Structure 1
Amino acid sequence: MNFRQIEAFRAVIITGTVSAGAELMGITQPAVSRLIAELETSTGFALFDRVKGRLVPTPEGQIFYRDVEASFRGLDRLRSSAARIRDFGSGHIRVASLAAAGSTIVPRAVRKFRETHPSAIVTLSIMTSAAVRNHVVDGEFDLGLAADEVDLSGVGHQVFGSFPALCAMPAGHPLAVKSVIGPQDFDGVDYVALSPEDRARLQFDRLCAEAGVRPNLVIETPFAITACALALEGVGVGIVNPLAIDGFAERGLIFRPFEPAVYFKSYLLFRPDMQKASLVRAFVAALLDVRNTRHSASSTGADRPPLTDETSPAIAGQS
């Protein structure tokens, strides 16, 4: 088995025909057929069935292709890594973040990180917490910031913080006259909810059930920043992560504390082999510094609550 044979197999899969695969590789059609025949001999099983003159992947061929494609993705990463090293040098960190922090606290951490590492390249991707966890586990990102509903098995992790929820509502909403919002205030109120698996959403639902109230759920979204946008448009009242609220008060959205407290807990996730890497440690330090200085008073008419409880996580790789 050699790379050229694997390349021919992949070319036929992604183009659908031997002739198109040959054109993609820049070789003749008989050469592609020969390479695939050699690969089938090497693997010991048929990769394609010949159906009415066409090659259709066998079940074994489909399974084999999944591993082939994973290998090519790895090769693409190697090409990208080589290009970055050639163009920018070796300093590079890949960060994935949940959406609530991806437009606020993480960009500030990037700015702070670059003050001490001006030559380092940062790749930042915003995705769901589940995707953050999976990409870190797969080694595609060095550091992740995710909500606490993710599976923490197989990944290095530490608590980033617990953030008390705020109640978001449009200007002029009847609840805006209250200084603190409780579950009893939601009875019959149009409600913008987070995803059912969100831990803060589950806490809120439990408090409403215990109080015997029933909010009027009108829409669900996985992203707190979207919940803020929906509340701003008057769709309903939301329970939101304070990491996601920046800029919305200036646009007219009203925020009030919610009691009993509902917490948005988040974790830093690491590839096990990257937790003590110097760039990762430096970026985590920047994140924690931004987190710790973000409790200044907001312009909502009420003080912004502290963004951490008694938890004080250590910088990655330190006790």
Structure 2
Amino acid sequence: MQHRQLEAFAAVMTSGSASRAAELLGVTQPAISRCIAELERELGFSLFDRIRSRMVPTFEGRMFFREVDSHFLAMAKLEAAAARIREFGAGELKVASLHSLGGRLVPKALASFQKAFPRINVTLQVQSSSQVRDLVASGQFDIGLCSEEVDLNGVEHQHFADYRMVAVIPRDHPLAVRVVIRPEDLHDQPFLQLDFDERLSRGLQDAFATAQAKPRVVVDVEYSATACALAAEGAGIGLINPAAIIGLDRSGVRVLRFEPALHFRKHLVFPPGRPRPQLVRDFLGVLAEVRNRFALQLDNA
């Protein structure tokens, strides 16, 4: 049983005659008749009664047409699904991000992406870097953004961005008039201790040791945005990732350069051994554009 035979049969059933079926399919009438005859031989029953040059469907022919019609409907669904996959990938995008990028940068990128692809279902989860890595490694999520300290074995990965550490200082603090903050400036100052990764923590400790400076830790915090909020309330001084506070109210703080230069390094992670569909590649393009716009804002801040 060949597709062209089923196509000829369906065309006769819907058009009412072999001649009109031939016109619909762009073939000759003898070709239609030949296809119908071949199909009848294979099926073992007649599909039409030939009555005065007319083709009248038999009972068996009408029963068989129901099945053929279902077949063509299923084929149409498959073709539509294939078109969606060609254009959008799976039709669903699942993104996981660490908190410092999941508060502003990633949501802004997803909003832009949704405007371009409004029919795509998008999921965003904001988790710790280790949880982001696990969600992607297991194949549950398509893309992850995490810090460099996580174990990158078992995932494909690439560098995403580096963000230079900045100081957030209460606006009425004496140090707020400075242009640059150095380790020695923070000696015995109330300090909002961020949960740094190992590399950053070691670099900061070395900087303080070289300057013989020891800040007075008053609050341990997990997120840069929290440190910024605490600084705005006068609780202390924080050293944070500037990308985490873009768009936040900073009227209560000054954001100042910190020297020596220390950077928060972020990575993109992907499920292992899986080709990246067009949908993921499209989102990565949008994400890169937003990252670059954020970088300009940080440079001009």
The residue correspondences of 1:259-274 to structure 2 (distance < 5 A) are 259-274=259-274
**Match of residue 124 from structure 2:** 124
* Deviations 1:30-59, CA, capped at 9 Å, x for gaps: xxxxxxxxxxxxxxxxxxxxxxxxxxxxxx
Distance in structure 2 (CA, Å) of the matches to 1:297 and 1:104: 13
Distance in structure 2 (CA, Å) of the matches to 1:251 and 1:275: 45
Structure 1 unpaired stretches of 5+: 1-88, 305-319
Compute the displacement of 1:196 (Å): 4.9
More helix by share: 2
Q: Secondary structure, in 3 states, of the residue corresponding to 2:201?
A: helix
CA contact (8 A) 1:199 1:264 kept: no
Compute the displacement of 1:297 (Å): 4.7
**Match of residue 277 from structure 1:** 277
Q: Secondary structure, in 3 states, of the residue corresponding to 2:238?
A: strand
Distance in structure 2 (CA, Å) of the matches to 1:157 and 1:90: 21
The residue correspondences of 1:14-29 to structure 2 (distance < 5 A) are none
Distance in structure 2 (CA, Å) of the matches to 1:153 and 1:191: 35
Distance in structure 2 (CA, Å) of the matches to 1:269 and 1:184: 37
Compute the displacement of 1:152 (Å): 0.7
Distance in structure 2 (CA, Å) of the matches to 1:139 and 1:270: 8
The percentage of aligned residue pairs carrying the same residue is: 38
Distance in structure 2 (CA, Å) of the matches to 1:181 and 1:291: 26
Distance in structure 2 (CA, Å) of the matches to 1:250 and 1:187: 24
Q: Secondary structure, in 3 states, of the residue corresponding to 1:122?
A: strand
CA contact (8 A) 2:136 2:270 kept: yes
Compute the displacement of 1:128 (Å): 0.8
CA contact (8 A) 1:194 1:201 kept: no
**Match of residue 23 from structure 1:** none
**Match of residue 243 from structure 1:** 243
The residue correspondences of 1:1-319 to structure 2 (distance < 5 A) are 91-197=91-197, 199-274=199-274, 276-297=276-297, 303-304=300-301
Q: Secondary structure, in 3 states, of the residue corresponding to 2:152?
A: coil
Compute the displacement of 1:91 (Å): 1.0
* Deviations 1:119-138, CA, capped at 9 Å, x for gaps: 11110011111111111112
Opposite residue 279 of structure 1, the aligned amino acid is L
Greater radius of gyration (CA): 2
Structure 2 unpaired stretches of 5+: 1-88
CA contact (8 A) 1:164 1:262 kept: yes
CA contact (8 A) 1:156 1:275 kept: no
Opposite residue 303 of structure 1, the aligned amino acid is N
* Deviations 1:81-115, CA, capped at 9 Å, x for gaps: xxxxxxxx951111111111111110110022123
Distance in structure 2 (CA, Å) of the matches to 1:102 and 1:229: 17
TM value normalised by structure 2: 0.66
* Deviations 1:59-88, CA, capped at 9 Å, x for gaps: xxxxxxxxxxxxxxxxxxxxxxxxxxxxxx
